[in-house]
Structure 1
Amino acid sequence: MKKFFTALCAAALAAALFAPAALAYQGPSVSCEAYIVMDADTGQVIMEKNADEVLYPASITKIMTMALALEKAQGELDTQLTVSYDAVHQLEYGSSHIALQEGEVVRLEDVLYGTQMESANDGANVLAEYIGGTIQGGVDAMNAKAAELGLSGTHYMNPHGLHDDEHYTTARDMAIITRWALTMPGFEEIFCRTDPWTMEATNKQPQQRVFHCTDWMRISGDYYRTYAKGSKNGFHDQALTTFVNYAEQNGIRLISVELKCQQLEDKFRDACAILDYAYENFSRVEIPAPDEAFQVPVVGGGEALGNALVQPKSAAVLLNKNLSTDGITVDYQIPDQYVLGQPFAASVTYSLPENDYQPSELGSAQLSVSGIDEVLAASTYVPASSLQPEKNPVGIAVAAAAAVMALVLGVRLWRRAGSKKPAAAGPAQWEIITRKPLPAEPPPWEKEADRPAPRSQTKPPSRD
């Protein structure tokens, strides 16, 4: 049986991808070394330049630090923290700070706003200690989260972003980190605040401290943009200027990352050019579900019980105005069979032909499987091994009970596997799947030589 299926959208039979009068690519002119633009809802990348080049992040490091603190807090932002000696003194001279003092008792929420709005390095140290018990414990948690997110181009040596040769990231990794951070409770509110934040007096500081937003795209002036909702910037001599933006317009939420901008003003100029171009040239379109559906044998106890159905799925993607959905390829990845009690993962990947307007990969969606209940209800299969030839009524009764229990156990295991029926009809929403699902494990009675070879997987980019 074939393991993978590829289909073309019907319109591709009659039309080419590009419009006859398609213009040469005129992307935004920028000075930054690397950038990326990602759909915050699906993870689809619509624009990029050197997105996998390993560079220094500077203070955009704090996005990971703040998000981990919020993940631990789960909305409990009134938590009281005591500032340690290390949090204050493990910083280089002239480092940005909010004048925290050893022994000062501060609210978690105040430290978060100080770290975000004033880029406080002492605040980042306090957050790291909150996350991991010590500053190093917090850094270890940051690296663990990067690994969990599948990021091979990111490594942390501190929670604030001050320079270290082994402290680095990529534009793509930063977009993935920011997308994850936006799912943490309270992160979007802190990340997007433009009004000043007041930190009240503490046991060590009798005066209030007021923090301010310094993002020109969200305040006023030539770079002001109504779509600009949140941001974090960074700078040091090796990283130069770095910038992460979160934007929303007409229901389209975008994350942009700019690394190694030459001058302070360049980060605003580049971010405006990139996001202006994105919102002017991209819109969300629906890729209708192809007509075909696939039958997959359901196997239990070594025998085929019937067929389940894997349904195609439509997709909503961001598409450059110079392209159309004609020519999009649809690649199905479907295991040969559904073995009761084992995981079953099927997916579809949508791709554009190579072009000059946007990356070819549009994304992937998990597919639902239906018909399992009907197969089980119609099955009267009893494992032969459970039936004994003896005429002993007690033995027969025990064997029959064992058979029933085996079938019940198989149903329970299947339900635990998480199979779901297709969603109700309507515009389907989907999200990027960052790893290829593995084929279902074949049952033990199949010979090793008959096992289909797994599809090759693309490794994430490594450090340059």
Structure 2
Amino acid sequence: MKIKRFLSLFFAVMISLHLAPLAAADADSPVLPEDPNILAKAALLVDANTGLPIYAKNEHEELYPASLTKIMTALLVFEAIEDGKLSMDQMLTASSSALMGLADDGSTAGIQVGETMSVQNLLYCMLVVSANEACNILAEAVSGSVSAFVDAMNAKAKELGCENTHFVNPNGLHDPQHYTSAWDLYLITAAAMQYDGFMTICDTAHVVIPATNMSEERDYWTTNHLLSTWRVIGYRDTRAHGIKTGSTDDAGHCLVSSAMHGSLHFISVILGAERVEEHGVGNIRSFSETSRMFDYGFDNFSYQTAILESEEIQEVPVELSEMDHVTVHPAQDTEVLMPKTLSPEDLERSVELQEVVEAPVAAGQKLGTLTLSYDGITYATVDLLASFDVEASRIQTLLRDIQDFFSKPVVRIVGVVLLLLLIFLVVWKLFLGRRRYRYGRSVGRRNRSSYRGRRRH
């Protein structure tokens, strides 16, 4: 019994000693930010500078976007303006077809058939007030008809790389076949944000639409409660800029926004949030959860210099040169947005290089890539460039060229043919020679044996 107890104690001690370093290693591992568990069907927070998602929930799920659709409509309008098809001060007249089929309880700016308004003011009505009729008026101006404009919307979505998007109308009124995803909306929004006028309009809390031929001056406030307390209090977020709200019974409450603070700039997407009662007060979660996502980003992430351009990464073997290698370095100093609990030393480096490179090699020539990642998340990928010139050896290059020449299939075939021809000639020569020799000797013998000469009598 004593021996059994001794062995049990011995093995227990050995196991504990073996596990102790592992426990210490785990304790020293960086602790990643805790999941904020955003309350919505889908949510996404992306670094606007690098396109790196730092929070994602069901980001590729097909969901109804409601009036977030108008971001795509605005993108096509701004493209038309850039192409010279429209101008901001161009006056457009509302047609009867543009106002057909709109929901009676949908968002509107009260634009009437025959009313004339500038493209710029129609954009304000669409993006600030979320006017459905403004979408159709602009769609007809860009493409000639609403249906043709919808085709252009779907074509643009495909061009941007949207894989879970299909539009049926320019305004987002509910249709079972009208859907997108949080990630696709990010792609669409990032494209629209390239136009300064887009963010100027989306970030407007209050706009006055001048009097028209059929209406007095209009005074409107944004539907985005992060930008204004005029409609509802409790959601104002001074970090927020734009972008678009959306809401239907089927889509729930949706919001695309952006926020800036210091060097950080985020784009957020919320789809399918609810309105709930909390402590007797209504809470529209598309706004409150967006602010929580912003808190998560600003509190837990920062830019850090992960790698320097001057750092020598690795050597690449070189052929056809007196120098047998060339070193590579990153194309530029690389800053990455990553959790504050991580340091650049924690990032895993994955190097992809050409196995061998032929001289000549020029300084700055791309020879591979370096990927920085942690826990399955890629934070940056940077090109690796040759650090210096490597000249080619003329002799080695000549020998290589000769070898390459004779390794070509055509040359090999010609060589085989010539070799066979040579063999044939040699065989034929030998065979013909032997034949001549044989027949020559037999004739001589026959002549000598048959010669009798003249007999003397």
Relative to the length of structure 1, the TM-score reads 0.68
SS in 1 for 2:346: coil
Structure 2 counterparts to residues 173-212 of structure 1, below 5 A: 173-194=184-205, 196-203=206-213, 205-212=214-221
**2:371 equivalent to 1:361:** no
CA contact (8 A) 1:17 1:323 kept: no
Alignment of 1:242-281 (within 5 A): 242-263=254-275, 265-281=284-300
Unaligned runs of at least 5 residues, structure 1: 1-15, 355-359, 384-444, 448-464
Q: Does structure 2 conserve the Cα–Cα contact (< 8 Å) formed by 1:29 and 1:273? A: no
> Where do 5+ consecutive residues of structure 2 fail to align?
1-23, 276-282, 399-406, 410-457
Identify which of 135, 140, 143 aligns with 2:146.
135
Cα 1:140–1:50, aligned 2, differ >3 Å: closer, same or farther? same
CA distance in 2, matches of 1:380, 1:132: 64
> Deviation digits for residues 386-443 of structure 1, max 9, x if unmatched?
xxxxxxxxxxxxxxxxxxxxxxxxxxxxxxxxxxxxxxxxxxxxxxxxxxxxxxxxxx
Equivalents in 2 of 1:338, 1:192: separation in Å? 54
Q: How does 1:415-454 map to 2 (within 5 A)?
A: none
- Per-residue deviation, residues 158-208 of structure 1 (Å, max 9, x unmatched): 1111111121111111122211211124111111112x21222223x1311
Larger RCO, structure (CA 8 Å, separation 6 or more): 1
Distance change in 2, residues 1:274/1:208 (3 Å): same
CA contact (8 A) 1:19 1:322 kept: no
Following TM superposition, by how much is the alpha carbon of 1:83 offset from its aligned partner in structure 2, in angstroms? 2.0
Distance of aligned partners of 1:368 and 1:161 in 2 relative to their CA distance in 1, 3 Å threshold: farther
Report the Cα offset of residue 272 of structure 1. 1.4
Summarize the Cα distance change of 1:369–1:69 in structure 2 as closer, same or farther, 3 Å threshold: farther
| Matching of residue 35 in structure 1 with residue 54 in structure 2 | no
Aligned to 1:286: 305
CA contact (8 A) 2:70 2:171 kept: yes
Residue-pair matches, total: 361
2:346: which partner in 1? 327
Shift of 1:18: 7.3
User: Matched residues in 1 for 2:338 and 2:394: separation?
Assistant: 46
Match of 1:312 in 2: 330
Distance of 1:90 and 1:187 partners within structure 2:
27
* 1:111 counterpart letter in structure 2: L
State the alpha-carbon separation in 2 of the partners of residues 130 and 99 from structure 1.
19
Match of 1:82 in 2: 93
Say whether 1:92 aligns with 2:103: yes
Structure number, greater radius of gyration: 2
Between the aligned partners of 1:31 and 1:77, the Cα distance in structure 2 is 39
| Residues 209, 217 of structure 2: 8 Å contact kept | yes
Contact 2:226 2:236 in 1 (8 A): yes
* Closer, same or farther: CA 145–24 of 1 in aligned 2, 3 Å: closer
Structure 1 residue aligned with 2:75 = 67
SS of 2:134's equivalent in the other structure is helix
Q: More helix per residue: 1 or 2?
A: 2
What's the counterpart of residue 452 of structure 2?
none
Deviates more, 1:131-140 or 1:214-223: 214-223
Counterpart residue number, 1:8 = none
Deviations 1:75-112 (A, max 9, x none): 94112223222211132332211122233322110010
| Distance change in 2, residues 1:17/1:255 (3 Å) | farther
SS in 2 for 1:248: strand
State the alpha-carbon separation in 1 of the partners of residues 223 and 166 from structure 2.
27
> Residues 313 and 328 of structure 2 are in contact (CA less than 8 Å); yes or no, is this contact kept in structure 1?
no
The whole-number CA distance in structure 1 between the counterparts of 2:391 and 2:240 is 52
The residue number in structure 1 matching 2:373 is 351
Distance 2:148 2:27 in 1: 55
Identity of aligned residues (%): 31
8 A Cα contact 1:64 1:142, kept in partner: yes
Report the aligned-residue RMSD.
Answer: 3.8
- The alpha-carbon deviation at position 31 of structure 1 amounts to 1.9
What letter corresponds to residue 165 of structure 1 in structure 2?
P
Q: 1:156 to 1:345 in 2, by over 3 A?
A: farther
Tell me how far apart the structure 2 counterparts of residues 112 and 298 of structure 1 sit (CA, whole Å).
Answer: 61
User: Against the structure 1 CA distance between its residues 368 and 85, is the aligned structure 2 distance closer, same or farther, given a 3 Å change threshold?
Assistant: farther
